[in-house]
Amino acid sequence: MTLTLLSLASLASAQPVESDDEQARSHFLAARSYYEQARYEDAAREFEEAYRLSSRAALLVNLSMAYERSGDLPHAADALERYLAEAQDIDNRVSLESRLTALRARIAAGEIGTPDPTTSPDDGAAPPPATDANAESGGGMSGLMIGSIASFGVAAASVIVLAVTGAMADDRFAQLASMCPGAECDSSLRPVRDEGVTLATVSTAFTFVAIGTAVLGGVLLVLGLLDGGSPDRGGQDHVRLRLTPNGVALTF
C-alpha cells in the first residue's frame, strides 16, 4: 500500500504545472462561456480569478459587466473604478467615468437587478467578453500600427538588398565593358555576364517589393491612426495582427 501511494505521489509531481497566464486564460474562457449562458454570477467569479492570476486591468471591464448583469451593482462599480485607476491611456475614459457615475447613482437610488437598458457599448460599456486574458491593458500599439512598422521594415530591408545587388550588377557589367572591346566578349566571360543579369533581376524584383511594402505600410499607418493606435479601448472590439503557427493572422 505504501509503495502504491508513493508511486501515485511521484506521478502527480511529474505532471507539468500550468503557469499563471495559462490558468488565467482557462478562467477567462470559462467566464466567457458562463456569460454567454447568462450565468453572470459564475462569469464574475471566473473573471475575478482570471484577473487575480494575470493582473490584467482590461479584465476588470468584463468583470464589471458580469457583476452588473447579475444585479450586483456595488461590485460592478468597484470593478470599473479599479479599471479606471489601474489602466493607462484609455481612449474612452470619459465615457467609462460617466458610466461609473451612473452606476453609483443607481446604487444610491437602491436599484438592483438588471443593467441600465439605455446603456449600450457605444456609450462606454464594454461588450463582454471582448478582452482576452492574454491582452495587455493599454498603452501599446494596435495590430494596424505594428503591421505598418513591419511593412516599413521590410521596405527598408528591400531597399538595402536592391542597392547592394544593383551595385554588384553594375560592377559585373563594368568588368565586361573593360574586357570586351567592340562589345564582343569571349565565351569564357559568359559566367560574368550571367551573374550580372541575375543580380540586375534580383535588384529589380526587390525594387517592386520595396515599393509595395512601403505603400502597404503607409495604408496601415493611416488606418492605425484612425483606429486610435491602441490595442485596448476599454474592451471594445478591434482589429489585431497576431502571430500564429501558420504565420500572421488578422483577428477582430
Taking only the tens place, the pLDDT of each residue in 82-112 is: 999 998 888 888 989 999 999 999 888 887 6
Distances in Å between the Cα of 1 and the Cα atoms of 5, 12, 55, 230 are: 6, 17, 43, 59
Q: CB–CB of 51/59 below 8 Å?
A: yes
pTM of the model: 0.43
Each residue's pLDDT tens digit, 40-89:
999 999 999 999 998 888 899 999 999 999 999 999 999 999 999 998 88
Q: CB–CB of 61/50 below 8 Å?
A: no
Mean pLDDT of 146-169: 86
pLDDT greater than 50 at residue 113: yes
Name which of 52, 46, 94 is nearest 70 in CA terms.
46
Taking the mean position of all CA atoms in its chain, how far away is CA 161?
30
Q: Which helix (H) or strand (E) is 144 found in, with range?
A: helix 143-179
